[in-house]
Structure 1
């Protein structure tokens, strides 16, 4: 996109924009365009302008043909250059185009007479699917379903526990779309609400619903009422987007020339819709609660977002203008995870990388670290693999050096490498005790030491060290016998507290994360541990073992600015087991 050399354009002049654009000697001061034509629309306009002053019919025809070629190819090229949506969406689009809408209306199945031109095509489906991904949407509302193409595209683009509500007043459309939703396996995500949209909005608000993305493509005369109700009822989530289609409506919102070819019997209806959109565009632009941008895609798309307050205290504006969700982001940060090649360490690597950090995957087994680093790269995330034995001072120093060499710094360290043996205390070999403490305690200390030496060279920066302890630091897990492990993890918590006190004044937060019993392949495949599962479940108020994903959110909390005032904290995630 390129910046335009123009002054503020008032909404009151939009309807007469043609004069301002074509009369370069105009005395108007609110529009001043001096640069050469560059965009497809500008080039088309320039060619057509030249055709008006052409010296011969041949010259005029040449200019018009060039403009025609550019205009005719634009929409098609946008479609072919855009990612193709799923086969399910294609199937639904094809079925819509083949459906006999005239017969449906004649048979009384639809109240209104539709044509297949009303169907959202593959480009439109991919556009709305992309907006779902950009907003990270889990809850989507569509006003104006028609055949459900965009509803299906949305459902395929949101998480499995997401929901799409789509509004229509034609029961036939629900019947038409249902088989396609079911075939695509998305029917549980989509709820079709057959009622006037205003009524549906009120009901959704009563249910406490709020949406990350709202898409409106319905009766143009109702747009303003939809917008006002959505905003007044708080249906648009903070950070979400309200996307409104048709807001350039045939060009009629800024020039009467665009309506010149409309058949006389339709002009009154078209003028009513055009006037409604002019009012809508102006009202939205002037609403202090939102920002809006109008994009010349097809017949115009307006993307409306909440405007961040510029006045007020930190609660109103957000710390450093950050929303609460932005505080969890790790974009621009660099992290390392010891023991990152498997189990919970692998999950921590994925969580940190998805939150935006570049990640050094550190493991004693380099092949395992390399495999996780490859997984992250497949997801388009930044990662390197590093081999290190955390019981070696030289290795811990090297893992930090390798991370800094690759990514320039180190902001976050997760010291996860650890081992566990199960043996009765009276039979625990001395070597088993020594190895447990060597890895679980000495290894954590040496890692913290090497990490902090780099972090302390960056005064004013906020850094985070997270040591993985265990709920065994709070209770004695049973019936398994693991005295050495329990003691080593209690030592990790006390080490964490000690380092937190030392380093907090110098910009390093040190916290511990203590997981409960996590369902892993080790437990699932172990002949010794599998019989203990039912006993453990009886000890856990939540009635289940932890899943690896249960620990991914807490690691991001401790790593991010969301926990900026937490240090020396032992964050326990054990389903309530330590409470009994």
Structure 2
């Protein structure tokens, strides 16, 4: 079997794949790589090794293909993505400017950005809440899909990232729709509840040990508007959510959150296996009218 895929992906998407370190989100693919190394060490038949390599190529081609046929990002988002990849996060961490060592892989990126824009536009949202901003890719993507009077409120713990994101937002006419709230997300959510704020779409992409608390606060404090949608990023956590042998702390936090959402009789949810998994949650009363 001869498998040769050549995808004509935009330059910025190719740059993303080249610049970012290889990330294996599917543990099954990781196992295939280990088997491939073992086969080489054991001198397994060359045809079998080739078939195994072809299988890996096919498995890895899916995400690249999905990105290649999806709509292209705006110039502002492409610039944000490129400059995030080039940003000297290691140096600013050494200089003590950030609270922790940041990584470009924390960025939502092109494919997930398009997914969020689909959610926002299909739900005819006007108010979006994001928990976990980083450099602002998801916030700006959502802002682009909102009407002129729409707003994105994005929460971020690290003060350093506020100025970084503002610089990117200023390059887009949609940046004016975004407001940044710096501080502990748990406290900020309570303040927003006191302000009687409500949101049509809530995107949670922050510290994994906070996911469950964030969700409970959004629901219990009535921050989710009628007909609203909550989207959790990293709902598969590199396979750790469903690999019961995993002891990774983040995976255990995600698994706990997923199981809690499923246990609620008032919620309707679907976990979509794009990139690292997106869990979409809505109230049942808004789904089954």
TM-score for both structures, normalised by structure 2? 0.82
User: CA RMSD, aligned part only?
Assistant: 2.7
Which runs of no fewer than 5 residues in structure 1 stay unpaired? 1-40, 260-269, 310-316, 323-580
Cα offset, 1:59, TM superposition: 4.5
Counterpart selection for 2:282 from 293, 305, 308: 305
Q: In structure 2, what is the Cα distance between the partners aligned to 1:178 and 1:58?
A: 54
Cα offset, 1:245, TM superposition: 0.6
Q: In structure 1, what is the Cα distance between the partners aligned to 2:118 and 2:232?
A: 15
What is the SS of the residue equivalent to 1:122? helix
CA separation of 1:44/1:113 partners in 2, compared to 1, >3 Å: closer, same or farther?
A: closer
Check the 8 A contact 1:44/1:70 in 2, yes or no.
no
Counterpart selection for 2:172 from 169, 181, 184: 184
Aligned to 2:256: 279
Check the 8 A contact 1:243/1:304 in 2, yes or no.
yes
Q: After TM superposition, where is structure 1 displaced by more than 3 Å over at least 4 residues in a row? A: none
Check the 8 A contact 1:44/1:67 in 2, yes or no.
no
Q: Deviations over 1:364-406 (max 9, x none)?
A: xxxxxxxxxxxxxxxxxxxxxxxxxxxxxxxxxxxxxxxxxxx
In our comparison, the structure showing a higher alpha carbon Rg is 1
Which runs of no fewer than 5 residues in structure 2 stay unpaired? 1-25, 39-43
What is the SS of the residue equivalent to 2:71? coil
Q: In structure 2, what is the Cα distance between the partners aligned to 1:59 and 1:133?
A: 48
Higher relative contact order (CA 8 A, sep 6+): 2
Q: In structure 2, what is the Cα distance between the partners aligned to 1:187 and 1:124?
A: 19
Check the 8 A contact 1:97/1:119 in 2, yes or no.
no
Check if 1:113 corresponds to 2:101.
Answer: yes
| Aligned positions of 1:428-507 closer than 5 A | none
Check the 8 A contact 1:143/1:166 in 2, yes or no.
yes
Check if 1:201 corresponds to 2:189.
Answer: yes
Cα offset, 1:276, TM superposition: 1.3
Check if 1:64 corresponds to 2:52.
Answer: yes
**Aligned residues between the structures:** 257
Q: In structure 2, what is the Cα distance between the partners aligned to 1:274 and 1:115?
A: 19
Q: Deviations over 1:275-302 (max 9, x none)?
A: 1111111110011221111111111110
Cα offset, 1:129, TM superposition: 1.2
Q: In structure 2, what is the Cα distance between the partners aligned to 1:152 and 1:116?
A: 16
| Aligned positions of 1:67-466 closer than 5 A | 67-255=55-243, 271-308=248-285, 322=289
Aligned to 2:8: none
Q: Deviations over 1:284-339 (max 9, x none)?
A: 00112211111111111100011128xxxxxxx9xxx64xxxxxxxxxxxxxxxxx
Q: In structure 2, what is the Cα distance between the partners aligned to 1:158 and 1:128?
A: 11
Q: Deviations over 1:164-186 (max 9, x none)?
A: 00000111111001122122123
Cα offset, 1:238, TM superposition: 2.0
Check the 8 A contact 1:293/1:304 in 2, yes or no.
yes
Check the 8 A contact 1:295/1:301 in 2, yes or no.
yes
Q: In structure 2, what is the Cα distance between the partners aligned to 1:281 and 1:118?
A: 20
Aligned to 1:484: none
Q: In structure 1, what is the Cα distance between the partners aligned to 2:249 and 2:49?
A: 36
Cα offset, 1:236, TM superposition: 1.1
